[in-house]
C-alpha cells in the first residue's frame, strides 16, 4: 500500500463513486429490500450494493488483498492487515430519510489504521487522511480545527455489547464535566463530525472494526487524541476527543 496522498487520491475517487451510488438509493427508497439482522439492526439492498462496489473498486485499484465488511464478512488474518468497510453506517437513519449516515473505508497495517476515508453523502462531505497528511475534506487539506469555545458536546454510541444502561452511566460522567451528550446512532457520522471540530469527541465500546478503521486515522490526523483497539473477539472500542 502506498502512503500519503498517493494512496488517498484513488481512495477519494472510489469513495465519491460509492457516495453517488448510495445517494441514488435515497431517490428510490421504496425499492429497497430490508433485512433485520438482529433486534434493531438492519441491512438493506443499498448496503449490499455499496459494499460490493467498494470491494470491486478497491481490488482493481490496490490489488487483491484481505477485506472485512459489515455485510459480506471476511477477515484480515493474523496480521490484521487489509481493508475494513462499512458501506452504510447508520442504516436505520438512512432508511428513515435522516441524513446522519456515512460510508467508511479504512486500511489497516498490522493492527494500525494508516489510510482512511469517510463519506457523508447527504451532507456533501468526504473526509480522508493517511499517516502524516493531516485531515483532508473534499480532497482539500485542512488546518487544525479552531477552539470550540464554551460549547461542549460529546457523542456516545451504544450497541448490544454495551447497551443503553451502561452508556447512560458514561453519559452522566460527561454531563458532570459540563458536556451536553448526544447519540446519533451512527459512529461514522459522529466521528467525522468530531474530526471537523463540531463535537468534543466520541466514545463507543463494542462496535465493529469497520466502524473505526477509517475514523481512527482521520481523527488522529485532525489533531484529536484517539484510543482505539480490540476489546473482545470481533469487538472494538474507540475514544476520540479534543484536548
Q: The cell 478503521 sits on which residue?
A: 213
Confidence of residue 114 (pLDDT cuts 50, 70, 90): very high
Q: Looking at residue 163, what is its pLDDT?
A: 79
DSSP state letter for 73: B
CA 125 to chain centre: 13
Count Cβ atoms below 10 Å from residue 232 Cβ, excluding itself.
10
Q: Looking at residue 238, what is its pLDDT?
A: 98
Average pLDDT over residues 217-227: 97
Q: Looking at residue 41, what is its pLDDT?
A: 77
Q: Looking at residue 149, what is its pLDDT?
A: 77
Percentage of the residues of the chain whose pLDDT score is greater than 70: 96
Q: Looking at residue 37, what is its pLDDT?
A: 72
Query: Would you say residue 98 has pLDDT above 80?
Result: yes
- CA nearest 216: which of 87, 128, 110? 128
Q: Looking at residue 72, what is its pLDDT?
A: 93
Residues 44-60: tens digit of each pLDDT:
899 999 999 999 999 99
Q: Which residues contact 69 (CB under 8 A, 6 or more apart)?
A: 51, 54, 55, 84, 85, 86, 87, 210
The model's pTM is 0.94
> Cα separation of 76 and 97, whole Å?
33
The three-class DSSP label of residue 36 is strand
Q: Looking at residue 36, what is its pLDDT?
A: 77
Query: Would you say residue 113 has pLDDT above 80?
Result: yes
> Cα separation of 160 and 28, whole Å?
30
Q: Looking at residue 86, what is its pLDDT?
A: 97
Average pLDDT over residues 62-82: 93
Residues 11-21: tens digit of each pLDDT:
999 999 999 99
Query: Would you say residue 118 has pLDDT above 70?
Result: yes
Q: Looking at residue 236, what is its pLDDT?
A: 96
Count Cβ atoms below 10 Å from residue 178 Cβ, excluding itself.
10
Count Cβ atoms below 10 Å from residue 102 Cβ, excluding itself.
33
Sign of CA pseudo-dihedral 232, 236, 241, 243: positive
Average pLDDT over residues 206-212: 96
Q: Looking at residue 40, what is its pLDDT?
A: 67
Identify any residues that bridge with 201 across adjacent strands, giving them in sequence order.
154, 241
Q: Are 228 and 217 in contact (CB under 8 A)?
A: no
Average pLDDT over residues 5-13: 92
Average pLDDT over residues 19-42: 86
> Cα separation of 67 and 41, whole Å?
22
Query: Would you say residue 143 has pLDDT above 80?
Result: yes
Q: Looking at residue 3, what is its pLDDT?
A: 63
Average pLDDT over residues 2-7: 75
DSSP state letter for 63: -
Amino acid at each position: 500500500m502506498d502512503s500519503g496522498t498517493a494512496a488517498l487520491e484513488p481512495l477519494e475517487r472510489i469513495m465519491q463513486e460509492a457516495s453517488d451510488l448510495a445517494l441514488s438509493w435515497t431517490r428510490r427508497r421504496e425499492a429497497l429490500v430490508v433485512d433485520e439482522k438482529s433486534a434493531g439492526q438492519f441491512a438493506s439492498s443499498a448496503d449490499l450494493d455499496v459494499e460490493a462496489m467498494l470491494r470491486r473498486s478497491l481490488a482493481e485499484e490496490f490489488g487483491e488483498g484481505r477485506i472485512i465488511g459489515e455485510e459480506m464478512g471476511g477477515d484480515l488474518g493474523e496480521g490484521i492487515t487489509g481493508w475494513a468497510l462499512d458501506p452504510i453506517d447508520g442504516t436505520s437513519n438512512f432508511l428513515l430519510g435522516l441524513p446522519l449516515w456515512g460510508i467508511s473505508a479504512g486500511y489497516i497495517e498490522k493492527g494500525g489504521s494508516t489510510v482512511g476515508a469517510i463519506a457523508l453523502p447527504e451532507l456533501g462531505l468526504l473526509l480522508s487522511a493517511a499517516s502524516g497528511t493531516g485531515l483532508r475534506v473534499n480532497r482539500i487539506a485542512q488546518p487544525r480545527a479552531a477552539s470550540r469555545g464554551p460549547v461542549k458536546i460529546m457523542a456516545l454510541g451504544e450497541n448490544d455489547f454495551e447497551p443503553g444502561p451502561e452508556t447512560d452511566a458514561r453519559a452522566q460522567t460527561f454531563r458532570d464535566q459540563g458536556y451536553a451528550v448526544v447519540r446519533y446512532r451512527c459512529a461514522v457520522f459522529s466521528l467525522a463530525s468530531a474530526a471537523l471540530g463540531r463535537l468534543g469527541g466520541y466514545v463507543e465500546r463494542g462496535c465493529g472494526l469497520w466502524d473505526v478503521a477509517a475514523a481512527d486515522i482521520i481523527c488522529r490526523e485532525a489533531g484529536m487524541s484517539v484510543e482505539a483497539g480490540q476489546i473482545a473477539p470481533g469487538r472494538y472500542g474507540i475514544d476520540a476527543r479534543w484536548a
